[in-house]
Amino acid sequence: MRINNPLEKFALKDVTCAFSMRQDGNMSLSYGDTHGALENRKRFLSALGIDYRSLICAKQVHGNTVTFVAEKNKGSGALDYDSSIPDTDGFLTDRKNLPIAILTADCLSVFIYDPKLPAIGVLHAGWRSTEKNICGQAVKIMQEKFGSRPDRLLAGFGPSIRSCCCKMEDSFKSNFPFGLIKRDGGLYLDIALINTRQLISCGVKEKNIFDPGLCTYSQNQDFFSFRKEAEGAGRMISVIMLR
């Protein structure tokens, strides 16, 4: 099994993070073919040294709510979707052995790590959450909650639909000042670029942001893609945990 580290360009000491691939199976308990999803989670997370029963998951709503979680939240959404933490698209914690996760199938996952404290976060950044600047919201809360300094934060991206394939409807309107590309008579969205710019505008150093450039749509053999597979699409998991 290949383990993908979204912060692989950084030397990590006390954090484990990874995203799954299609070959690891569907990780969602509510989307796609959910048969075997718990076993998929168990197998993937066990390889990372994470107890799948401790996982914290969200009922994602494409907003910008980022929730601090602690020991009392351990296991929320781990074994069934109904127990997931509602109405949130990101988690932050400074507690050890508390795995936090989001699920994606075209949306961008964003990992944030403060190695000094330490503290971590994981975000579900679809275009709607990106428009609401979920990265900026997360960095703000980390400053307020943990005393994090943006210039020492490390960030990494998981796979997402990229600007090569993310064609928007002709009627699409947004407040994005950049990241919209007109090409071949269509309008394409660069969601990774927008989140990169938003992180930088919060004070995160560009050199501390790692984007592996993986496209879920064009590399559909390796990743689930809602745009390509519609309601049948499974979900990848993006997980991070302090040790």
The confidence score (pLDDT) of residue 27 equals: 98
- By three-state DSSP, how is residue 121 classified? strand
pTM over 0.75: yes
Q: Determine the Cα angle at 143 with ends 74 and 16, to 5°.
A: 45
The confidence score (pLDDT) of residue 2 equals: 58
Domains of the chain, by residue range, sit at 15-242
> Alpha-carbon distance 90 to 60, whole Å?
8
Phi, psi of 195 (to 5 degrees): -65, -35
How would you class 43 by CB atoms within 10 Å of its CB: exposed for 0-12, middle for 13-18, buried for 19 or more?
middle
> Alpha-carbon distance 15 to 181, whole Å?
36
| 243 residues of the chain, pLDDT tens digit each | 456 888 877 778 899 999 999 999 999 999 999 999 999 999 999 999 999 999 999 999 999 999 999 999 999 999 999 999 999 999 999 999 999 999 999 999 999 999 999 999 999 999 999 999 999 999 999 999 999 999 999 999 999 999 999 998 877 877 788 888 888 888 899 999 999 999 999 999 999 999 999 999 999 999 999 999 998 999 999 999 999
Packing angle, helices 191-201 and 134-146, rounded to 10? 30
CATH of 15-242, one of 3.40.50.150, 3.40.50.300, 3.60.140.10, 3.40.50.1110: 3.60.140.10
The confidence score (pLDDT) of residue 8 equals: 78
Give the tokens for residue 69: 């979680």
